[in-house]
Amino acid sequence: MTAELEAVHDAELVAAETSALPAVVDINATLTPEAAEDLANSGRENTRQTYEDRWKAFARWCAPLGRMPGPPTSEENLTSYISHLRRRDLQPGVLRLSVAAIRHMNARAGYEQHPDQAAALKIYQDHRHAWQKAGRGQNSSAPVDLQRLRLMLAACPAETPAGKRDRVLLLLGYYMRARASELSQLRVGDLEFVSSELLVATKRVSKNDKTDVGREYEIDDPACLAAVKDWLVHLAENGQTGRGLPLLRAVDRWGNLGSVSPQGWGVTRQAVNNLVKSIAERAEVDVAADITAHGLRAGVPTDLGAAGYSAAEIKEITGDWSSTEQVEKYRKVGLRRAGKRTDDGRRSAALSMLRVQGRDADNPAAP
């Protein structure tokens, strides 16, 4: 064997021996099992569950096709899955959520900004445009303003356990501008009567509360205070007034309270949403088919809009929205339900004076 061949042979032997040795890992660059578990379980519970559900749907689509969901997920698999959802004609929001969920699960596994979403988002945007063009835009919950709230309260008999609970659900949902998940997480200890005429209700966690400091709501509506007191008396009669116990509870057909789930829930957010929808249907609210629990959150800004408050004023008064965009939508709904124009100032005055028939019809520009 020549010297050159011997050198090559020796190099190959060294490479083979080296590859068989365990890789040297810097322990300072690794996570402890506890930290890895905490990171995998990080994020708000509702968001995490939603992402996990969308990820499982993606994995189920991959399996029969012989595709690997990852992570890491390939750009081609992401794009193909979004195309599949589009051809099922699902709501555009489902496509956008699926993209976010798949990228979130990749990031959680250490693959930041992976997979590339540009192609998938093009398909989503085309689908969203087609839906909008066809007049099928994204559905939004109809607001439960005071007029609709009164109808729904009338459909909740105050003498039954379920009716007592439902009245509390509706009234706190309206006055706390609460989401379904926030209502389901309320505890008995989150309510404090500081006087016979004032209730302080605390929202411990919220989607918009990034620092988890909570938010207090001062409620002085007599109907709300009476409903809460009545429900707390019923809970006390059943030995269920511990401060850490859930405020809202399942109630069976015989009026018995349901048990508390291992997660500490009395009712889930899905149950809250179903209750609100069923109450709206019983009350024969004009837009019952479009009402969800989120309509309770929209009630106050809708009523304030009808009363003439601007979006900026509503945002400041409520303190529940970080931008005025969504508040402006509620303001417009409120004004239109009151039969008023949504544009203001000189624009409204100028356009309102233009009449085909009626006063000043022959001289629309007259002051």
Instruction: Classify 14 as helix, strand or coil.
Output: helix
Q: How confident is the model at residue 12 (pLDDT cuts 50, 70, 90)?
A: very low
d(CA 332, CA 312): 13
Measured CA distances, 209 to 13, 212, 298 (Å): 60, 5, 18
What are 102's two structure tokens? Answer: 């798949």
Instruction: Look up the pTM and report it.
Output: 0.69
Residue type, 231: W
**For 278-290, what is the mean pLDDT?**
92
Q: Is the pLDDT of residue 313 over 80?
A: yes
CB 58 within 8 A of CB 102: yes
| Token pair belonging to 229 | 């007191």
Which pLDDT band holds residue 129 (cuts at 50, 70, 90)?
very high
What's phi and psi for 275, nearest 5 deg?
-65, -45
The least confident of 10-19, 30-39, 114-123 is 10-19
Q: Sort strands 215-219 and 191-195 into parallel, antiparallel or unpaired.
A: unpaired
**Contact between residue 189 and residue 244 where contact means Cβ atoms under 8 Å apart:** yes
Does the structure show a pLDDT above 60 at 294?
yes
Band (pLDDT 50/70/90 cuts) for residue 15 is very low
Partners of 216 in the beta sheet? Answer: 202
Highest mean pLDDT among 41-55, 91-105, 329-343 belongs to 91-105
Q: Which has more pLDDT, 206 or 295?
A: 295
Please give the Cα distance from 242 to 199 (Å, whole number).
Answer: 18
Percent of the chain having pLDDT more than 90?
56
Which of the residue ranges 45-49, 59-63, 237-241, 292-296 would you say has the lowest mean pLDDT? 45-49
What pLDDT score was predicted for residue 325? Answer: 87
Q: How confident is the model at residue 337 (pLDDT cuts 50, 70, 90)?
A: confident
Q: Confirm if 102 and 123 have CB atoms less than 8 A apart.
A: no
Distance CA 151, CA 225 (A): 18
H helices then E strands: how many in the chain? 15, 3
